[in-house]
Amino acid sequence: MEWFESWFDTPYYHLLYNNRDYTEAESFITELTQDIGLPPGSKIIDLACGKGRHSVFLNKLGYDVLGLDLSRQSIEFNKQFENETLLFEVHDMRNPIDSDPVDAVFNLFTSFGYFENDKDDKNVFQSVYNVLKPGGYFVLDYLNEEYVRNTLVPKETAERGDLTFHITKKIEGRHIIKDIRFEEDGNLYNFYEKVKLHTLEAINSYATDCGFERVKVWGNYQLDPFEKETSPRCINLFKKKA
């Protein structure tokens, strides 16, 4: 079992990240769909949808949404939100997507770069390309590799209720590794996250090899232009060539 398969299915993962700014996320998604020009009724896949909050919001904006995630527990939780235009399914993003062609695929909030093998990364782009309509859009919201290297905080703690998460971060080669330790009821727990530090050029190489063209790169959730040294995010907008 790979690290993300075990960690993402625990309640501790969702507890640790329960302070995410969803107001900012919803504002970002609203501006994003407007900037791309996706009309209501467009079909969107939320790839690596987690607990489905962004899928639900996209659906409220009027889109026909399919949320996909590797975590069975997350998908089971999300089933309560389903309706005629919002569905959830278990899916490994490296595999072909079983769906009618869609207008856009969103991969949001660093849900990429988990795989050791570059071929797996390329498979993600290929599966997205194959499920898009000609002229369809792929949004890859990723960390900015150079910004991460320049701003890394090696140690921190996070208080969540009665739990204290002790977090250390380090860069080893092409990866940023986050070690997460905590104690509950006398039991010690240890998980980790390992994300590849893809450069802007590497991401574009994967995309162009599959037949995408890059339309835009934004540097934050306010959709400001990307600056290599100072932008916290690397939000790529790719288009499938018609």
Percent over 90 (pLDDT), the chain: 83
CA distances from 174 to 24, 153, 195 (A): 29, 17, 8
H or E stretch at 119: helix 118-131
187-196 vs 86-90, strand pairing mode = unpaired
Q: What is the pLDDT of residues 76-94, one digit of tens each?
A: 999 999 999 999 999 999 9
CB 206 within 8 A of CB 12: no
The pair phi, psi for residue 109, each rounded to 5°, is: 60, 55
H or E segment to which residue 203 belongs? helix 200-210
Q: 82: which residues sit within 8 A by CB, 6+ positions away?
A: 88
85-125 pLDDT, tens digit each:
999 999 999 999 999 999 999 999 888 888 888 899 999 99
Cα–Cα distance for residue pair 16/18, rounded to 1 Å: 6
